[in-house]
Structure 1
Amino acid sequence: VYVPIGNDNKLTSTGSFDGSMQPMIFVPGITHYNVLFDGVTLKWSLGTYSGNTKIVESVTASSSSYKCINYAGGRTDNTNTTAVQNASKIVQPEKNPAGNVNVFPNPARNLATIYLSNDIINVKGLLLIDAYGRQHPVKLVRQVSKHSIEIDLSGLVSGMYFIKVKGENGYKNINIVKE
């Protein structure tokens, strides 16, 4: 489901937050989302339709709630707190030995680097899917290390894409915006 950032997909807080990783594509099986914020109450509202009925769900997190992980406390530089949220329920991330997957830069124009901490990337197990669910070939530029690869996005249309990365410990998912 695609819900663009706006009235139906918004983050609000009287504190500071980094909405750059706010999702717009909601894929079955993805159960949590990370938003960096300063620990002051953060609210996420998401509105979608079920038939002709609009359903709006809201969740909040703060430095003192179980919905917030990795809170360092006292800092206000937007790098110390991660809210883990789902529009229908709040969950803690799974304890997964595969670690996290990151992509940078994000948004990206031409080249992007995918990094999978604590796991080895299987370059044959990469999937790139657009907002319409269409799969695109992944153009591998080079394997930087066993944990990191560089891909070429230059031939793609601008928009949101979903990357599925296969490691030895299973699949990890991440969104990327192609400028």
Structure 2
Amino acid sequence: MYLNNLEFYSGSGYKLSGFIKKWKEKLLVFDLNSRILQIQDVKSQSQKQIDISNYNIKQLGKYQEKWSLKLSNAQNEFKFGWNNEKDCQQWVDCFTGEWKRQQEQLRFLEEFDKSHPEVEPYIEKQPLVFRPKPSLMSRDKIENMIPHLPQFIQVKKKNKKLERYGDSIVKYI
């Protein structure tokens, strides 16, 4: 299906009422403003015009190996068929006006996006600074605890000297 200046164009299988007649390939042109569907036969150069507002639209599902749509009123009945379900659904949306509502909704969302551009957050680029956390215990409390620790933990290196707190022996290396 192609859109050109509010007119849809598509090839379709077309069938008049009755089982004997086969599907024939036709060109469909649908004008959104006037809601008139033109059925054109390229070989015989014939054309029919249907005012969609006078017809009931019914989706038939898969009918004779085509995804089908039936337009009917008291006098006439037309069947259209497409090879895939997507094309059939697009035409149903066009005939019912759903496509126009979807386009208006998309247009509204685009205008809303233009009027409210997305603002990117400003991030100041400063060098990362790691600050040490303040100790939960003061240095005095830690030093008072050292004599009570096991012997192998009590040895502490400080400026190339070893200090042993329990015996108050100092060795220099």
Instruction: Give me the TM-score of the superposition, normalised by structure 1.
Output: 0.22
Higher strand proportion = 1
- Higher RCO by CA contacts (8 Å cutoff, separation 6 or greater): 1
Higher helix proportion = 2
